Amino acid sequence: MGKLIVVALGGNALLRSNQKGTYQEQIQNVTETCQSLASFIKRGDKLIIGHGNGPQVGNVMLQHEAGLKVFSVESMPMDYCVSETQGSIGYLIELGFRKVLAEEKINRRVVTMVTQVVVDKNDPMFLNPTKPVGPYYSEEEAEEYSEATGSVFKEDPRGRGWRKVVPSPQPVRIMNIDIVEQLANEGNIVVTVGGGGIPVIEENGYTYGVEAVIDKDLASSLAAIDTNADAFYILTDVPQAYINFKKENQQALGRITLAEAKKYLEEGQFTEGSMAPKMRAAIRFVEATGNEAVITDADSLSTPGAGTIIVK
């Protein structure tokens, strides 16, 4: 078979900004993304898929909140919510790929692994939760929930209300990554580290989940490193990364070196919460493996040399 490729799917692969998140919307979006990824399959490459889950986790948290208010059913913690969305999104990706594979008459199996990712209990991010999750609340509601649950809430900078914030620690180790690599090398399409993985801590031989969210691009980058991938793709909603974004001297980045990528990142050319973590994840992969990382959108995958390509 061909190369081993790890692809991190952005949120727009599952849910577009103007959509509500219905089942039909998501399965259509996923299937379209799988059709774009079919170019890898047609040339015989092996494929590992990571994905985000932000909107889906938000919807799950809303459902849990409704259950608490109406039926006094206790809400579930973040690690449980991540595991729940890993299963549901993995199911949609499997359906999408099986439809595409059937249409292309390609014989490949698709498997989803509910994946735990180990984080360090001493990660400094646990002292400074910054990742917003779930719905928006009024200040009074946020104070009420904070007193009742001990959760931290911060005001949205755009004035949309208050949201719960959780730590975003660094991924340290992906559980069962050797099985992921084995399955992929056998020709199976493997979905793993969904939503960045279920955040867990190992201590004294035990494993327990924590209230946190792991960046899905960093987790996918670690998966690409640990499985000895030949290339790492990060799919987003733009065909390339830019410097001087939305300015008169805006410039799309094509093929750039690792040193150039680091320089642009240090200059603050990429926005945190948007392109910066994607570039950081790409840099880590190229540094660790010497292989190339690509940042682009799904529609550009069929065009050779498209996207921002970071090489050593």
pLDDT tens-digit readout, 8-29: 998 778 888 788 889 999 999 9
Contacts of 205 (CB under 8 A, 6+ apart): none
Which residues does the chain have with pLDDT short of 70? none
CA-based end-to-end distance of the chain: 25
Q: Which amino acid is at 4?
A: L
Q: What pLDDT score does 226 carry?
A: 98
Q: Where are the domains of the chain?
A: 4-115+170-311, 129-166
Catalytic residue list contains 12? yes
Q: What pLDDT score does 108 carry?
A: 96
Catalytic residue list contains 11? yes
Q: What pLDDT score does 134 carry?
A: 84
CATH 3.40.470.10 fits 4-115+170-311, yes or no: no
Q: What pLDDT score does 263 carry?
A: 98
Cα atoms in the 13 Å half-sphere on the side-chain side of 258? 15
Catalytic residue list contains 50? no
Q: What pLDDT score does 95 carry?
A: 97
Burial of 302 (0-12, 13-18, 19+ CB in 10 A): middle
pLDDT tens-digit readout, 181-228: 999 999 999 999 999 999 999 999 999 999 999 999 999 999 999 999
Q: By the 8 A CB rule, do 301 and 36 touch?
A: yes
What is the pTM assigned to this prediction? 0.94
Full strand arrangement of the beta sheet holding 173-174: 173-174, 116-118, 198-203, 206-209
**3-state class of 6 per DSSP?**
strand
Q: Which residue among the candidates 12, 53, 59, 291 is catalytic per the annotation?
A: 12
Q: What pLDDT score does 127 carry?
A: 95
Q: Which residue among the candidates 29, 50, 96, 216 is catalytic per the annotation?
A: 216
Q: What pLDDT score does 302 carry?
A: 85
- CA torsion angle 178 182 187 189 (round to 10): -30
Catalytic residue list contains 46? no
Q: Which residue among the candidates 54, 131, 195, 197 is catalytic per the annotation?
A: 131
Q: Quote the tokens at residue 151.
A: 């959760």
Measured in residues, the chain has a length of 312
Tokens 């099985």 sit at which residue?
A: 179
Q: Which residue among the candidates 10, 46, 58, 278 is catalytic per the annotation?
A: 278
Catalytic residue list contains 131? yes
Q: What pLDDT score does 55 carry?
A: 86
Q: Which residue among the candidates 10, 11, 90, 134 is catalytic per the annotation?
A: 11
